[in-house]
Structure 1
Amino acid sequence: MTKTEKILSYHGIRPTKMRSKIYKFLKRKQSAVSFSDLKKAFVQKSETNKTANRTTFYRNLKIFEDKRLIHQINDGVGVAKYAISDENAKVKYGIDLHMHFHCTDCRRTICLPNKISEESLPDDYEVSDVNLVLKGICEKCRQK
């Protein structure tokens, strides 16, 4: 069993070829990926692959998200983006509590490494989703 297959299995996801490919693709990315970027990457790689259809991608992203292997980011541009969740995040709410940074110049969105303290969340509330996005200019764009 490969490392990717072990990770998928650990999260309760049956490791198929397509799921392994999607996971590896997302894992390699340093910034969040939109559905259309994901689809384009796979269509270009395998134009004859009939199984790489829109439904397959949506279904697999939904499974990954439900199992908290990835998280969805709404960075305000009107298109959902996806990134791998922190495997070591063990939080009370089952959510990887961290911020994201969206560069208004290159339009990349990245996960920031610092976590948000659970103590800052009220005890009497049940958190089901978190979307924290900082906007500005990234380091690469500032150096231009």
Structure 2
Amino acid sequence: MVAQSTTKRFEELLEKHQLKKTTARLNVLSTMYGKKSATSQPELESVLQDIDRVTLYRILNVFEEKGIIHKVFDLNGTANYAVCSSGCEEHHHHDEHLHFNCKVCKSVFCLNDMSLPNIKLPAGFRAEGFTLYASGLCPSCSSKKA
């Protein structure tokens, strides 16, 4: 069961983005905030069995539009979703951080604290965002291999 203070925080987040406080939305937020890595819709479906596929799809879409979560792709091209930083806004994500794909467990991690290089584009190009990926072994899989 989700702690009452956590539920209150999620309700305030939904209010901030002018979204109805439904049980399904609160459960999706609770599940996503409880994960250390990004998660795919099929993974969420397996955990949140009381939410049908279409409802979950709509929740993920509206959360992404509102800047609550962002989409990141794994090594197989599958969309995964991760909680955004507090700097994200509706239709304008600030998820320009390193995304790490583990080749063993297939998890996708947002490495928010990494310093990224300043990217200077050629004249005429205007970036509205970028994604940087790295792949290898996550700490858990590295320790199992050692």
SS at match of 1:110: strand
Contact map agreement 1:12 1:67 (CA 8 A) in 2: no
Task: Tell me the residue number matched to 2:4.
Answer: none
For residues 1-144 of structure 1, what are the structure 2 equivalents within 5 Å?
Answer: 2-43=8-49, 46=50, 52-88=51-87, 94-114=93-113, 120=119, 122=121, 125-144=125-144
Q: 1:111 to 1:11 in 2, by over 3 A?
A: same
1:89-141 residue CA offsets vs partner (Å, 9 max, x unmatched): 58xx6422111111101111110022666953559544344322110011111
Task: Tell me the residue number matched to 1:49.
Answer: none
Higher RCO (CA-CA < 8 Å; seq separation 6+) = 1
- Alignment RMSD (CA, Å): 2.4
TM-score (structure 1 length as normaliser): 0.81
Q: 1:83 to 1:68 in 2, by over 3 A?
A: same
1:18-65 residue CA offsets vs partner (Å, 9 max, x unmatched): 11110111000001101100001011xx4xxxxx21110000000000
- In the alignment, the residues of structure 2 paired with residue 67 and residue 89 of structure 1 have an alpha-carbon distance, to the nearest angstrom, of 8
SS at match of 1:120: coil
User: What number of residue pairs does the alignment pair up?
Assistant: 135
1:141 aligned partner, one-letter code = C
- In the alignment, the residues of structure 1 paired with residue 103 and residue 8 of structure 2 have an alpha-carbon distance, to the nearest angstrom, of 38
Q: 1:94 to 1:35 in 2, by over 3 A?
A: closer
Contact map agreement 1:97 1:115 (CA 8 A) in 2: no
Q: 1:127 to 1:107 in 2, by over 3 A?
A: same
Q: 1:117 to 1:9 in 2, by over 3 A?
A: farther
- In the alignment, the residues of structure 2 paired with residue 12 and residue 20 of structure 1 have an alpha-carbon distance, to the nearest angstrom, of 14
Contact map agreement 1:97 1:116 (CA 8 A) in 2: no
- Point out where structure 2 has 5 or more consecutive residues left out of the alignment: 1-6
- In the alignment, the residues of structure 2 paired with residue 129 and residue 55 of structure 1 have an alpha-carbon distance, to the nearest angstrom, of 28
Query: Percent identity over the alignment?
Result: 28
- In the alignment, the residues of structure 2 paired with residue 58 and residue 121 of structure 1 have an alpha-carbon distance, to the nearest angstrom, of 36
- In the alignment, the residues of structure 2 paired with residue 116 and residue 13 of structure 1 have an alpha-carbon distance, to the nearest angstrom, of 33
1:140 aligned partner, one-letter code = S
- Point out where structure 1 has 5 or more consecutive residues left out of the alignment: 47-51
